[in-house]
Structure 1
Amino acid sequence: MTLLEVDGISVSFDGFRAINGLSFVIGEPELRAIIGPNGAGKTTFMDIVTGKTRPDTGKVLWGDDNLNLVGRSESDIARAGIGRKFQKPTVFEDQTVRENLAMALKDRRGPFAVLFSDGGSTERIMTVAKEVGLERQIDLSAGTLSHGQKQWLEIGMLLAQEPRLLLVDEPAAGMTPAEREHTTNLLRRLATRHAVVVVEHDMEFVRRLNCRVTVLHEGRVLAEGSLDHVTQNQDVIDVYLGR
């Protein structure tokens, strides 16, 4: 089932067209990787979907009712079920893993969510911690976690908000081989229940995801298909892989 449809969106900044008639769809559930050279429009695409940037033209259709997200606020879009994880983890390092997850719970954000968590909230927090592999670190301060564990915590904080779509930016960057393997397995598992879109430069990590790949170039789709398919495309080789 189509969850997100990007339909003919374009946007320019100071005369530079960052997105140029971009159109493609994301299903639910699905795991999708988006690759492409610097300046291809990957970050701008995520900015548009999450409401940070408004396109000059086109639509971003969401959910069962094809709701157009263009012009809606970032908070409204997040509440609609779209979560975004940036490349650099943004967790509350002085708070424990449990407290970070409690503050992120859907409809229970802020310090009172930590002070007055009920039984259902406690169960939900533990479920999410186990999902991302941090149940043993549940009462540790987030600042003591490794880089990879902080990434997993931030993914957990997104899951606590019960999103239908997760946008994940370069999750493998800076990770150890063991952390990368854990992250691969986590994203693939999540994609059995959610739509998960991963923007990534690391081709080996993308290969391990074993999913459909969309290649962007100059703000539009250059190629789409399996990684083997797109990496054999001469245009992709010329503009991205050959560099």
Structure 2
Amino acid sequence: MSTLLEVSGVSVTFDGFRAINNLSIAIAEPELRAVIGPNGAGKTTFMDIVTGKTRPDSGHVIWGEKSVSLLGMSESQIARAGIGRKFQKPTVFEEQTVAENFAMALRNKRGPFDVLLFRPNAAGDARIAELATEVGLLDDLPRRAGDLSHGQKQWLEIGMLLAQDPRLLLVDEPAAGMTPAEREHTTDLLVRAAKTRAVVVIEHDMEFVRRLNCKVTVLHEGTVLAEGSLDHVTANKEVIDVYLGR
């Protein structure tokens, strides 16, 4: 495993509030990593920095074998470099079918009008079927995306991100609002995805994190408080005091 993403000494302040404070995190490829911590710990800001949404005041964010700085790149350049992000609320094209959503996401970028006039080809069909199988939506390809359950919309969006072949997938609270069965399926999906790429999951549900069975980073006040297995970090007195004891 080689280091894919290295965040080092990063700080960012909003209106006098230090949201990220000398943060350093390294993510390998492939790797599955969970990031936990209390509200306001800097978890979402960390993702914002990596994806170019927020510019830090200081520090370095280095990407890939060529050690490219992400800080000089736009959000779209960062996405094209291989970083995909899934927000907490699913954003799919509700009026289109599941198949059309996948078609829109496939790497040979098509505009929405192209998709409406989309004439399937064998390679595209095969890739759509492969993605749908991977996320568990093969039987739902003809369905309107708006008719899917909350969990299925989450899987569709993850599948649409996988269609872009990202090397790093950032996923924000995927288990929120899911049924136990949906959470189990989501766990399996993320574990499989992390066999061939880096997947970083922000999550509050400790049972979900336990099922991921991966390295855990605990953030507090914008810096790393503890890192290691879930058992290791949940036994840490500081982690109990600032997060688990609440």
Q: Secondary structure at the match of 1:27?
A: strand
Q: How does 1:100-119 map to 2 (within 5 A)?
A: 100-111=101-112, 112-113=114-115, 115-119=118-122
Out of 230, 234, 237, which is 2:240 matched to? 237
Pairing 1:88–2:96 present:
no
Say if 2:219 is the partner of 1:216: yes
Structure 1 match to 2:206 = 203
Shift of 1:213: 0.1
2:54 pairs with 1:63: no
Contact 1:54 1:71 in 2 (8 A): no
> Aligned pair count?
243
Deviations 1:33-67 (A, max 9, x none): 00000000000000000000011111111111111
Partner of 2:188: 185
Unaligned stretches of 5+ residues in structure 2 = none
- Does structure 2 retain, via aligned residues, the 8 Å contact 1:213–1:225? yes
How far residue 230 of structure 1 moved from its aligned partner, in angstroms, is 0.1
What do the CA deviations read for 1:175-199 (whole angstroms, capped 9, x no partner)? 0111000001111111111100000
When the two structures are superposed, what TM-score results if normalisation uses the length of structure 1? 0.98
Amino acid at match of 2:241: D
Displacement of 1:113 after TM fit?
A: 4.3
Cα distance in structure 2, aligned partners of 1:182 and 1:157: 17
Give distance in 1, aligned partners of 2:185 and 2:109: 29
Unaligned 5+ segments in structure 1 are: none
Cα 1:9–1:117, aligned 2, differ >3 Å: closer, same or farther?
farther
The 3-state SS of whatever aligns with 2:161 is helix
Name the counterpart of 2:48.
Answer: 47
State the alpha-carbon separation in 2 of the partners of residues 107 and 7 from structure 1: 34
- CA change 1:70–1:6 in 2 (3 A) is same
- 1:42 counterpart letter in structure 2: K
Cα RMSD for the two superposed structures: 0.9
Distance between the aligned counterparts of 2:108 and 2:138, measured in 1? 22
Moved over 6 A (4+): none
Alpha-carbon distance in 2 for matches of 1:234, 1:107: 50
TM-score (norm. length: structure 2): 0.97
